[in-house]
Amino acid sequence: MNLSSEESTIRTKAEDVADFQDQLAASEEALRLATEHGQWDTAITAKLRQMVGRELAATVLATAKLQTKARAKLGDGLWWCTEKSLAQSTPRWVADVKARWLTSPIALDVCCGLGGDTIALAASAAVRQPPVVLRFTHRLLTHRG
């Protein structure tokens, strides 16, 4: 099967995204460990590097340092974020209000960043989806970045 250059590029980009998502999912344990540890010392850094590699360990540590702020703004759970994405994210209470305002059975979060609005929309009664689809959406949004 011969792929066009455009199809090949799209496939490569999709594979890159899938690989990155797999890395984030695999490093969830590392993020939990770093968040629970609370101190940034050589021992935790070495453990994280062992778990997920040097580059991803730096991302995990940076994200772990933001968890208190993220939970205060977005709610419970682990939040993959950067300073900028967290600063630009919609606070949970605002997302909940916006979701209640919507009465359309179709809702698009075209500015989706961390997924705060999307999660609120998925939990809203305004979105008519089978519960299993909403659980899938929630899981993907909270665990796949």
Which tokens belong to 3? Answer: 């792929």
- Is the pLDDT at 140 greater than 70? The verdict is no
- Is the pLDDT at 32 greater than 90? The verdict is no
**What is the pLDDT confidence band of residue 77, given thresholds at 50, 70 and 90?**
confident
Confidence (pLDDT) at 59:
87
Q: Name 145's Cβ contacts closer than 8 Å, sequence gap at least 6.
A: 21, 24, 80
- Cα distances from 2 to residues 5, 7, 13, in angstroms, run 9, 10, 17
pLDDT tens track for 46-58: 988 998 888 888 8
Q: Is the pTM of this model over 0.75?
A: no
